[in-house]
Amino acid sequence: MSGKGGSATPTTYSPSPQNQKKPKSLIFKDDVDWVRPDGRGFQHCRPAFLRTGAVSAASGSAYAEFGNTKVIVSVFGPRESKKSQMYSDIGRLNCNVSNTTFATPVRGQGSDHKEFSSVLHKALEGAIILESFPKTTVDVFALVLESGGSDLPVVISCASLALADAGIRMYDLVASVSVSCLGKNLVIDPIFEEENCRDGSLMITCMASRNEVTQLTITGEWSTPKIHEAMQLCLDACMKLRMVMRSCLKDSASSQE
Amino acid sequence: MEAANPSGDLSAEMEVDAFRRLFPLRFFDRHLVESIRPDGRPLGRARDTTLALGAVASADGSALAKIGSTTMLAAIKLEVMTPATESPDEGSIAIDFHMPPICSPMVRPGRPAEAAPVISKQLSDTILSSGVINLKELCLISGKAAWMAYLYPEERNNMNLKVDKLWNFMITIVDIYCLDADGALFDAALLSAIAAFSHLEIPVVSLDEDGRVVILSQDEGLKTSNEPVNAEKRKLTLSDIPFSLTCILYKNYILADPTAEEESVMETLITVVLDSSYQLVSLYKPGGSVLAYTSALQDCIALTRHRVQELKKILDEAMSEMEVD
């Protein structure tokens, strides 16, 4: 047990009891009468708190809080593309999503989330009018402050608000909602515990007023009628979320005058 | 009426914003001559500062500090460690300063900002050397020996002592995230770290069967057979809290608490850290084109002294608000 000279970082462990006991399964999937841990109905989304102008250093920014999921998105640009990139007649979109080390209850690494970054890119690029900023790049950076379930849909909706705050031209605001399948039940906007024991998930990003879907992800086991039901649920929720986003933008615009 | 230099002519016609971008030094000179800065502050005044404790629910202690637009979020997590052999009765503190890409147009993902490791090192040096946290207080199992000796019956003749170390100290890992970078990053980071330490509560722990330390949650505390090692949640005692102020030296002016624009245009920075009894903890002047004579240093220290009073009040108010809740 010889200690090295200087400040060697000894191995440490976190004393919180979660990783030592098996988590009690709060959810009985086949029982129709179970209640969600936060008391919502199966088809109720969490109340959304949205604010634009969170970061003064950015061209546009937004902060979103859906229950325990808290996200900040900054948009920089349009600004000069990297010299190494080839000439492009239309604009470029660059997305990056990362977590803080305290986003999860057990301290994590806080590194970039490459998969989320690429899904965010795909969700947004259909909605942005890239021709309006040729030869330049718009950077969208997201930081997940706290991960309480359904992180990616919140990031996408918040990014769309930040783009609107930055004045980047888009066809419509994109709103994103996900649905999890737990046994026979469909729950919308799942929290962390529900996501852990789900059988399948469906995430939709759409431009509600144009009725166009920019991105759709389905994982797990689904039957065709269930998919139809889930999609309809999501599209309705997206339309309502878009209304909330729109009123947030109107409030911030009117408070600036 | 013809001005000799062409930029003088242009300045009469140009918009303020364009003049600010094209001739930043002349823009600031025009203001400093009137003893005022572009955002309306007098030269020695810092921006409005706010503190919110307990911003992150999942962390053991946290704080959000805002100086003007510069926003820092500090969160402390506690982990259990074995003490190092050189200092067997002390825990340790690890401070990590992150500048995520959201905070500033200068930061790119994958390429960390230049300022981040510099401020990280500055922060850990300042906090450790100021002695604000007594590392011996980070002991989880007080009153029990750190070493336990087992004497095995079959080896009694040989008197072989098997010595086992107990994991019984804490390492506090402080993560500070810059959410908005608008100058004076070190000041805001230090303030948020200190506020997070003052909010930190060490939870009730006990040992389980394997000798590992486990946090007792509220409802379990009464039912479990493990006896809690410490009776109740406790806070660390902070002695001699360090507060800092960054100033810019420009010609013969001293500007307190610069914004990012001022920092980029006028490069000579000096950071003074005083503790709550007005003793000097650290003085940091990393080069710069302006040389600091004794009088300038004394002026900076005087400005910092005034700032320490303001910050002490703000920290006390934030802590008393938490207690009321």
Asked if the C-beta of A68 comes within 8 angstroms of chain B's C-beta atoms, the answer is: yes
User: What whole-number distance in Å separates Cα of residue A239 and Cα of residue A216?
Assistant: 16
The whole-number pLDDT of residue B150 equals 41
Q: What is the pLDDT of residues A61-77, one digit of tens each?
A: 999 999 999 999 999 98
**Would residue B20 count as lying in a domain?**
no
Task: Indicate the residue type of B265.
Answer: V
Torsion angle in degrees (nearest 10) through CA of B314, B319, B322, B323? -140
What are the chain B neighbours of A121 within 8 Å (beta carbons)?
Answer: none
Q: Containing H/E element for B234?
A: strand B234-235
Confidence of residue A16 (pLDDT cuts 50, 70, 90): low
Instruction: Nearest by CB to A57, from B81, B167, B260: name it.
Output: B260
One-letter amino acid of B239: S
Report the pLDDT value the prediction gives residue B66, as an integer from 0 to 100. 95
Q: Name residues whose C-beta falls within 8 Å of residue A153's C-beta, 6 or more positions apart in sequence.
A: A176, A177, A178, A189, A203, A205
B9 is a domain residue: no
Considering CB atoms only, which of B56, B57, B103 is closest to A57?
B103
Q: Given an 8 Å threshold on Cβ–Cβ distance, is A57 in contact with B182?
A: yes
Residue B175 belongs to some domain of the structure: yes
Confidence of residue B271 (pLDDT cuts 50, 70, 90): very high
**Interchain contact A107–B (C-beta under 8 A):** yes
Is the CB of A143 less than 8 angstroms away from the CB of B179? yes
For an interface test with A, give the residue of B48, B56, B58 to mutate (most A CBs within 10 A).
B58
Cα–Cα dist A238/A215, whole Å = 13
Query: Span B21-33, mean pLDDT?
Result: 91
- Rounded CA-CA distance B114/B110 in Å is 12
Backbone Cα Rg of chain A: 20
- Categorize the per-residue pLDDT at A37 as very low, low, confident or very high, splitting at 50, 70 and 90: confident
A17 Cα to chain B: minimum distance (Å): 6
What gap in Å lies between CA B185 and CA B181, rounded to an integer? 7
Q: How many helices (H) and strands (E) does chain A have?
A: 4, 9
Q: Which residue has the tokens 């000097």?
A: B280
Closest CA in chain A for residue B213:
A15
Each residue of A187-239: pLDDT tens digit? 999 998 888 888 899 999 999 899 999 999 999 989 999 999 999 999 999 99
Residue B5 maps to a domain: no
**Chain B positions in Cβ-Cβ contact with residue A24 (cut-off 8 Å):** none
Residue A122 phi, psi (nearest 5) = -65, -35
Pairs of CB atoms within 8 A across A/B: 124
* Residues of chain B contacting residue A76, judged by C-beta atoms under 8 Å apart: 105
- Structural domain span for residue B183: 40-200+236-324
Residue of A nearest to B220 (CA): A17
Of residues A8, A14, A17, nearest to B79 (C-beta): A14
Q: How many domains does chain B have?
A: 1
Answer whether B81 sits within 8 Å of A15, measured CB to CB: no
Question: Which residues in chain B touch residue A104, judged by CB atoms under 8 angstroms apart?
Answer: 58
Interface contact B212-A55, CB threshold 8 A: no
The answer to the question of residue B90 being in a domain is yes
Does A87 contact chain B (CB < 8 Å)? no
- Give the strands of the sheet with B70-81, arranged side by side: B49-53, B61-67, B70-81, B169-180, B92-98
Q: What number is the average pLDDT over the span B194-221?
A: 74
Q: Do the domain assignments include residue B91?
A: yes
Indicate yes or no: CB of A74 within 8 angstroms of CB of B57: no
Q: Assess A172–B contact: CB distance below 8 Å, yes or no.
A: no
Does residue B276 belong to any structural domain of this protein?
yes
Confidence (pLDDT) at B64: 95
- Answer yes or no: are the C-beta atoms of A58 and A168 closer than 8 Å: no
In chain A, residues with a C-beta closer than 8 Å to the C-beta of B80 are 12-15
Return the closest-CA partner of residue B122 out of B255, B271, B245.
Answer: B271
Contact criterion met (CB < 8 Å) for B81 and A68 = no
CATH number, residue B187 = 3.30.230.70
Q: Would the pLDDT of B207 be above 60? A: yes
- Does B101 fall in a domain? yes
pTM exceeds cut of 0.90: no
Instruction: State yes or no: pLDDT of B147 exceeds 50.
Output: no
